[in-house]
Amino acid sequence: MADKIITMEIDGHSVQLPDGMNLVDAARMVGVDIPNLCHLEHMRGVGACRMCMVEVEGSRGPNTACTMKTKEGLKIKTDSAQIKDLRKMVIDLILSMHPLDCMTCPKAGVCWLQDLAYRLDVRESNYTRKSFNHAIDDANGFIERDPNYCILCGKCVRVCTAQNTNILEFMGRGVGAKVTTAQDKPLHETDCTFCGSCLDACPVNAILESGRRAKGREWQLEKADTTCTLCGSACSLVVSEGVDGIVKVTSPKPNAFICAVGRFGFDALNADTRVMNPKIRKNGALEDASWEDALDAVSAKLKAAKANPAKVGIIANASVTNEDAYMLQKLGRAAVGTNNVDSTASLSDTATIPAYLKAFGGIPEVENCLCDADLIVTMGVNASQWSRALPAHDAKIRKTVSGGAKLIVLDPADSAYAGIAAKNLKLAEGTDTYALAAIMAVLVKENMIPAERARRTDGFDAVKAAASADDAAKLAEAAGLSLDDVKEAADLIAKAKLPMILYSTGVTGKDNGADAVLSALNLAALTGGQVIPVLLDANAVGAAMMGLSTATLPGFAAAPAGGMSAAEMLKGGLDFLYAVGDVPVSGKPASFVVAQVSHMNDMASSADVVLPGPAFIEQDGSIINYYGAERTLWSTIASEAEYFSPWEVAAELSERIGGGERAEDIEDVMAEIEQFAMPCDEPVLNAAVIKPSKGAGSASIKSAGSMMALNGSIIGASRVAKLMREAVKA
């Protein structure tokens, strides 16, 4: 994160840019594109391709812009005749070793090499043509590697190394070098997770999706931006559709991350388990029915059950959209009169919403990206690319550390991050609040935090005074730590410019989880840091904000007491239950069950009525991600399933049972959400002194295995299911 803005000159124009920023990235901010083939945004430049050469005033010769930083008074030229000639020579050399089959190459239209050759008017190579006849690696069924197209930019190696996957590497030297795996094994014989980060990073046709060929040229594909809802990482996706359906799913940036499930799981949309039309149980078996008949059956049962609203429940997977969540809770509370409305988010986290409501009265948007942090503190975060537990979170943490950030681990378990941590503090079980209090006591007593770093808020002085009065040694001992370890951790935090604290189910599953979250917020206030909840569901925050929670009404207003949580409803005893999406259940939890799902699951198998719903990348609407930011979802394809969105079904049922006129379209729902569910003011922290305590218990859904627990019906219908099963075995 830059400390100040400087003035420098690019191609004769004075520009203002952040100090110390990579020159290629900085130039792009002011509309100057410095050609390159090897540079990756947010990563240190390596100067491998030599395409980004620029003239620097006062320097004897050209310099690679990707290895330079912005600084006051710097003057550069990016388009002189000398620089253009150098770039032409580089392209000329690369083309002498590159297949020139652009007319049939799948990458035509998005190939960086093709684009630069066109811009520089290099039509063919002046050097002797070379061909290597490398073997193609395509046996895994996900990613095809063709080293014959490789330009040795090293992007794939660097992204793989940065996220600690460490599968790809260089082999050989000089002209005969190539990118491959250890011992030159095919990908399926390595520990590759098939995330495809290398695929997004590759600027040419050396790495592409298996089966991508002959499915449409890039300019023929319809591309749509959306958000993956298969786990709490909620990654951005670009879905490319051809005449025969989805061709590929990619990341919007060449150095971002999406896991194998988000990238390759779209084949589940046409699986045999897909619910194509409504079903009604007759004589013990589910039989196909019309929407009208299904809604008649559901509304009749719901109208009767309305006489005893305490026996009616609504549960949704917390990957539903804000619009779905809002209308589902409205159906329950306004039309039926029950407070038994909840989402699967409460099965893994009963701490975040209560803690944030107490501290802020809502959930504020995190100001900075995790990649901006120079120090990360993880608490109970069990993310992993290999076990498929919040894999994108894992990759982001590892990439940020690879980029120079320090890592402190606070965890009673053997953390997978121990090997990359600057300080690994293995706590006694349930002692998060003691450890955080000990760190704050050291920071305050030894006056380690500059005054300008602290974020003064209501209650700040009381928190600081309490930390000053605490005995750091006794707190450390209660947490199972030495005082020296606590002091070393405090020193790392004090030296950081932007510390970020991440917590997950290892904290929120404890009965004192809310206090641990509040303590983390206090530490962030003292140090000028930020807190990021690492949640398992894509829209856990949004569901609560919309009121699909036993704790909250729309807009984070406090809900009336007495509503049954998801766990309580799933124990059974209800007369009527409307369940949306994958909701973990064993047995039939109500006398009459309505399951709205995209794929058959355990709940649907025992349901009385099954309604088809949208699958991931078929949803329209919005969610609130773990940064507290609103993200838009677009239905990217025309589905063959005869589904309606949950908000539409909820609106229809509400009208049928006397709950008022139904919303006609999603814009009506959005307008109502804007009026009733979106907080008007930015939440401000009200810090509170937390007395340390020892917590017990654990979340019913932990991060390990959460993707299958919360979205198993979709994932299990895809070819990626095999990867998931192998991860569980490992």
3-state secondary structure 224-272: EEEECCCCCCCCEEEEEEECCEEEEEECCCCCCCCCHHHHHHHHHHHCC
Query: How far apart are alpha carbons 375 and 725 in whole angstroms?
Result: 34
Q: Where in the chain is the domain with CATH 3.30.70.20?
A: 84-214
Q: What is the reported pLDDT for 436? A: 98
Q: What is the reported pLDDT for 729? A: 66
Fold of 352-534+685-694: Dimethylsulfoxide Reductase; domain 2 (3.40.228)
Q: Where in the chain is the domain with CATH 3.40.228.10?
A: 352-534+685-694
DSSP string covering 615-680: -TTS--EEEE-TTS-EEEE---S--SS----HHHHHHHHHHHTTS-PPP-SHHHHHHHHHHHTS-S
CB count in 10 Å sphere of residue 673: 23
Q: Does residue 605 contact residue 625 with C-beta atoms inside 8 Å?
A: no
Residue 378 has pLDDT above 80, yes or no: yes
Residue 357 has pLDDT above 90, yes or no: yes
Residue 324 has pLDDT above 70, yes or no: yes
- Average of per-residue pLDDT across 208-235: 94
Query: How far apart are alpha carbons 703 and 709 in whole angstroms?
Result: 10
- Average of per-residue pLDDT across 567-586: 96
- 419 by Cβ neighbours in 10 Å (0-12 / 13-18 / 19+) ranks as exposed
3.30.420.40, 1.10.10.10, 3.40.50.720, 3.40.50.740: CATH of 279-348+539-676: 3.40.50.740
Q: What is the pLDDT of residues 135-163, one digit of tens each?
A: 999 999 999 999 999 999 999 999 999 99
- Average of per-residue pLDDT across 620-624: 96
Query: How far apart are alpha carbons 718 and 497 in whole angstroms?
Result: 43
Average pLDDT of the chain to the nearest whole number = 94
Query: How far apart are alpha carbons 72 and 17 in whole angstroms?
Result: 9
Ramachandran assignment for 673, one of left (phi > 0), alpha (psi -120 to 50 degrees), beta (any other): alpha
Q: What is the reported pLDDT for 679? A: 81
Q: What is the reported pLDDT for 160? A: 96
Instruction: Name the pLDDT band for 2 (thresholds 50, 70, 90).
Output: very low
Q: What is the reported pLDDT for 1? A: 41
Per-residue CA distances from 376 to 323, 419, 503, 524 (Å): 34, 14, 11, 11
Query: How far apart are alpha carbons 287 and 392 in whole angstroms?
Result: 40
Global pTM reads 0.95
Residue 514 has pLDDT above 80, yes or no: yes
Q: Which of 598, 597, 603 is nearest to 577 (CA)?
A: 603
- Average of per-residue pLDDT across 345-357: 95
3.30.390.50, 3.30.70.20, 3.20.20.70, 3.40.50.150: CATH of 84-214: 3.30.70.20
Q: What is the reported pLDDT for 3? A: 66
Q: What is the reported pLDDT for 661? A: 82
Residue 41 has pLDDT above 90, yes or no: no
Q: Does residue 476 contact residue 487 with C-beta atoms inside 8 Å?
A: no
- Average of per-residue pLDDT across 50-65: 94
Q: What is the pLDDT of residues 474-494, one digit of tens each?
A: 999 999 999 999 999 999 999
Q: What is the reported pLDDT for 628? A: 93
Q: What is the pLDDT of residues 413-465, one digit of tens each?
A: 999 999 999 999 999 999 999 999 999 999 999 999 888 888 888 999 999 99
Query: How far apart are alpha carbons 272 and 714 in whole angstroms?
Result: 11
- Average of per-residue pLDDT across 515-535: 97
Q: Where in the chain is the domain with CATH 3.40.50.740?
A: 279-348+539-676
Q: Does domain 5-79 have CATH number 3.10.20.740?
A: yes
Query: How far apart are alpha carbons 319 and 539 in whole angstroms?
Result: 5
Q: What is the pLDDT of residues 70-93, one digit of tens each?
A: 999 999 999 999 999 999 999 999
Instruction: Name the pLDDT band for 730 (thresholds 50, 70, 90).
Output: low
Q: What is the reported pLDDT for 344? A: 98
